[in-house]
Amino acid sequence: MTRALITTVPFGEVDSASLVLLDEAGIEYVINPIGRRLTEAELVSLVPGFDVLIAGTGPITERVMEAAPQLRLISRVGVGLDNVDLLAARARGIAVAYTPEGPADAVAELTIGLALSLLRGVHLANAAIRQGVWTRIQGRRLAQVTVGVVGVGRIGRRVIRLLSAFGARILANDLVSMTLDEPVRWVDKRTLYREADIPVAFVGHPLLDLATPALGRDAFRRAYRLDPEAPTVAVLPGSRANELRMILPDLVGAVERIARAVPSVQFVIARAPNLPDALFEPLARLTRVTSRGPCIVESQTDAVLVAADVVLTASGTATIQTAIHERPMVVVYRLSPLTYWMGRRFVRVNAFGMVNLVAEKPIVPEFLQEAFTPEAVAGEAVRFLTDETHAATTRAELRTVREKLGGSGASRRAAEQVLDVVRAHRAS
């Protein structure tokens, strides 16, 4: 008999149809006995003997799969697969599925519910009456307002359908225009934010306040016994296990080629905390091509960036962090072929790196999937190291990105905006 472990909670409590299907198929199932998101250790203890894992957001790691040699299917209840080690699953012949349509209706309905609460002041009235105060709040109906919908995917389309039933005027924005049954006006984001009845204020990026290194450039190099004059390349391979497995081996290959092209170069690896040492085993190769091997530093990314001349970084927030420090960078990323294929079906952009998206043009090289090769990455890094004019031009472009992020004080401005709204409600 096929056995299934259901780790997501709650499951089947409101609608038992899924459990009925399992019963009819003769599948024996066990529902999460702890009643919350499971840790890796808890999954390891529970999963032996099961053929199917109907999973929530708990970490489905290689260790979990090793504990379940019978496992043949991981079915994620939801959209994201970040918590599943896809490479480990592929190596063991374990199929991985997800349910993109599953949560869409619930999220769309909740969106409408929250919009109604905001318009009618339900949350304010609830707070007041709990304090023994009866306050008459004059709200608005959805039919009286203009609503902007950014992103018209599975959820966005459902939100539009529900909004149209209320008679709202709808503005929509997406990377791809499409034909809908509902009356929608397609606009750019600036128009949407200007015309929608929800005021939008850009307060800046909080990283500008957080990107403060514990050590300056010279102090960092002294502390970690780096040559104060040697060209320095920082490597930021990511903070997730799946990222490192996909990215680090080819980054190491790039480092080997950079070292051969620029013999005086030194390397600093920014290691994210709480990752197993085994993930960093590819770094052992570097002792053969550099005089002292790479300097590995944990939890000091900003200091690493300040000390570097060029950065090799996984795509993500780290690219913005690197731009704040105005360091020329090469951006890389690699997904599982299935995930990348699904993403390319829905995303129509010429760049993926946040820096290039903010700049609205390619200012730093980025290499994704099959384009990400050690040769390509090394070539761009060596150019930054040997062509000062090119490096200076890139630093100037990165300075414009930093300026677009809004300057320091983003958190304070966000708080001030919230207080202004509260004061306006109290005054009315």
Taking only the tens place, the pLDDT of each residue in 179-189 is: 898 999 999 98
Task: Give yes or no for residue 336 having a pLDDT over 70.
Answer: no
Is the same domain home to 38 and 123?
no
Is the same domain home to 393 and 322?
yes
pLDDT band at 16 (very low <50, low <70, confident <90, very high): confident
Q: How many domains does the chain have?
A: 3
Boundary of a domain, candidates 53, 80, 98: 98
Is the same domain home to 340 and 267?
yes
Task: Give yes or no for residue 249 having a pLDDT over 80.
Answer: yes
Domain with 74, as residue range(s), is 3-98
- pLDDT tens-digit map of 132-143: 988 788 888 999
Q: Does residue 22 fall inside a structural domain?
A: yes
What is the predicted pLDDT for the residue at 255?
A: 94
- pLDDT tens-digit map of 89-121: 989 999 999 888 888 999 999 999 999 998 998
Is the same domain home to 385 and 250?
yes
Boundary of a domain, candidates 162, 195, 228: 195
Q: Does residue 311 fall inside a structural domain?
A: yes
Task: Give yes or no for residue 194 having a pLDDT over 80.
Answer: yes
Is the same domain home to 218 and 303?
yes
Q: Does residue 227 fall inside a structural domain?
A: yes
Q: Does residue 361 fall inside a structural domain?
A: yes
- pLDDT tens-digit map of 77-93: 887 788 898 888 989 99
Is the same domain home to 321 and 399?
yes
pLDDT band at 276 (very low <50, low <70, confident <90, very high): confident
Is the same domain home to 32 and 116?
no
Is the same domain home to 307 and 380?
yes
Q: Does residue 422 fall inside a structural domain?
A: no
What is the predicted pLDDT for the residue at 41?
A: 92
| Among 164-173, 192-201, 416-425, the range of highest mean pLDDT | 164-173
We report the CATH number of the domain holding residue 144 as 3.40.50.720
d(Cα 77, Cα 61) in Å, to the nearest integer? 17
Is the same domain home to 328 and 232?
yes
In Å, how far are 122, 129, 138, 197, 312 from 134, measured between CA atoms? 12, 6, 13, 27, 59
Is the same domain home to 346 and 254?
yes
Task: Give yes or no for residue 199 having a pLDDT over 80.
Answer: no
Q: Does residue 417 fall inside a structural domain?
A: no
Is the same domain home to 141 and 263?
no
Q: Does residue 259 fall inside a structural domain?
A: yes
In Å, how far are 183, 363, 387 from 394, measured between CA atoms? 44, 7, 11
d(Cα 312, Cα 67) in Å, to the nearest integer? 35
Is the same domain home to 276 and 390?
yes
Task: Give yes or no for residue 345 having a pLDDT over 60.
Answer: no
